[in-house]
């Protein structure tokens, strides 16, 4: 960006945007808020790179396909293109976005199991041939509008302990997988393998273990019937830390168990891919807001911020996410409520937060909020725009 050097002239350690180093981060917040105003979403390219390299190092035999729904900002996509990532898209619009930014069609998976005829025709025209499905009717559509496509059957798997359940809406029953793969073959499609998703922000590694067992059984049965499956998509769900004190399982430990299972259950030539979204973009984002009003109600300090659940705190609704709120203020903490700026009573971000005494103009910021926040924000509900995104 044109103003990048000025914005980061204090040269903070970019791990500050997804880890420690409060002083450097708060200095960056002060300078950025003064320069750009608030609300403001700071996205660290270094944190994006770090997350990508962490996953590649942890699961070296798995190719990442960034799920751009987590945060489709062009600079984020371009960063992952340079790093060599593939992309998980759910619509023709997302597909066009990554292609226009320089991604190759063979680095894209159309991972929505329900696709419109027009989007399938668009994929065929743009030479995007790898896609998922979970039902027979979808196969007829794919065969008609995207002939010769390479398809993965998505199966329903356990999502126990995941923040967002993703097997409620998608996924064929595993005992239907072979029938569906054979049906794909009969329609002139290329059945490549199996995909699953254990749920977003998954802290229960057993979800992966059971899903890999089920997938392996499908591979084995398919082989007996003359179907040589060569690809497994293990989806996303890798957890990140939203709070400084989070003690849930880490990607390092989770990946160790997944690697062992992949090696034991699948042939050496199997291609493994994954669809990380939150894991890549979540730790890269820091949201900077300011208090625009205050009162005292229900025996608590009550602060109105210039961003809310219709904006970049939309993750509290759509992502079932809880955030750790920090301030530039020091001092004794008091039970407080945080609300957004709209005149809708639903726009309450958190009812119970321990915060120091704040004034109008005080900064409240949140780390690890780069995913499912600005991406799902309403463009201008009540006339309040989402935060300005600045890459640092």
Name which of 346, 345, 353 is nearest 302 in CA terms.
Answer: 353
Query: Please, which contacts does 126-129 make with residues 24 or more away whose CB atoms are closer than 8 Å?
Result: 126/95, 126/96, 126/99, 128/89, 128/95, 129/105
Contact 322, 316 (CB under 8 A): yes
| CA atoms within a 13 Å half-sphere pointing along the CA-CB vector of 268 | 0
SS3 38: coil
Question: What residues form DSSP beta bridges with 89?
Answer: 110
- What is the C-alpha separation between 187 and 178, in angstroms, rounded? 14
Number of H helices, E strands in the chain: 12, 18
Name which of 123, 45, 117 is nearest 80 in CA terms.
Answer: 45
Read off the DSSP letter of residue 199: -
Q: Which residue has the tokens 């019937």?
A: 225
- What is the C-alpha separation between 238 and 376, in angstroms, rounded? 20
Contact 307, 346 (CB under 8 A): no
Q: Which residues are catalytic?
A: 343
Alpha helices in the chain (DSSP H): 4-7, 22-36, 45-58, 74-83, 92-100, 117-125, 136-145, 177-186, 206-224, 251-265, 278-281, 315-318
- What is the C-alpha separation between 311 and 103, in angstroms, rounded? 29
């Amino acid at each position: 960006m044109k103003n990048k050097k000025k914005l980061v002239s204090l040269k903070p350690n970019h791990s500050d945007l997804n880890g420690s180093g409060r002083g450097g981060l708060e200095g960056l917040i002060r300078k950025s808020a003064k320069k750009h105003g608030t609300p403001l979403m700071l996205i660290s390219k270094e944190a994006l790179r770090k997350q990508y390299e962490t996953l590649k190092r942890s699961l070296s035999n798995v190719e990442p396909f960034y799920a751009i729904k987590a945060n489709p900002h062009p600079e984020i996509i371009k960063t992952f293109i340079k790093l060599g990532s593939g992309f998980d898209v759910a619509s023709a619009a997302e597909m066009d976005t990554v292609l226009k930014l320089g991604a190759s069609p063979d680095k894209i998976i159309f991972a929505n199991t329900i696709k419109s005829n027009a989007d399938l025709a668009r994929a065929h025209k743009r030479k995007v041939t790898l896609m998922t499905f979970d039902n027979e009717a979808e196969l007829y559509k794919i065969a008609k509008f995207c002939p010769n496509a390479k398809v993965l059957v998505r199966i329903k798997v356990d999502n126990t302990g995941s923040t967002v359940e993703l097997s409620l809406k998608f996924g064929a029953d595993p005992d239907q997988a072979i029938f569906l793969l054979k049906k794909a073959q009969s329609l002139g499609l290329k059945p490549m393998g199996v995909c699953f998703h254990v749920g977003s922000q998954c802290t229960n590694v057993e979800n992966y273990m059971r899903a890999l067992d089920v997938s392996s059984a499908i591979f084995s049965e398919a082989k007996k019937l003359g179907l040589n499956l060569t690809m497994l998509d293990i989806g996303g769900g890798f957890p990140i830390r939203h709070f400084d004190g989070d003690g849930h399982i880490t990607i390092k430990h989770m990946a160790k168990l997944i690697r062992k299972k992949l090696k034991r259950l699948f042939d050496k030539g199997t291609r493994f891919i994954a669809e990380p979204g939150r894991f890549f973009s979540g730790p890269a984002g820091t949201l900077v807001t300011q208090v625009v009003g205050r009162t005292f109600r229900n025996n608590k300090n009550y602060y109105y911020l210039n961003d809310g659940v219709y904006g970049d705190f939309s993750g509290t609704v759509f992502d079932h996410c809880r955030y750790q709120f920090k301030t530039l203020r020091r001092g004794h903490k008091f039970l407080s409520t945080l609300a957004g700026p709209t005149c809708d009573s639903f726009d309450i971000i958190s009812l119970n937060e321990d915060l120091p005494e704040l004034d109008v103009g005080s900064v409240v910021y949140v780390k690890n909020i780069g995913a499912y926040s600005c991406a799902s924000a309403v463009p201008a509900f009540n006339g309040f725009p989402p935060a300005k995104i600045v890459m640092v």
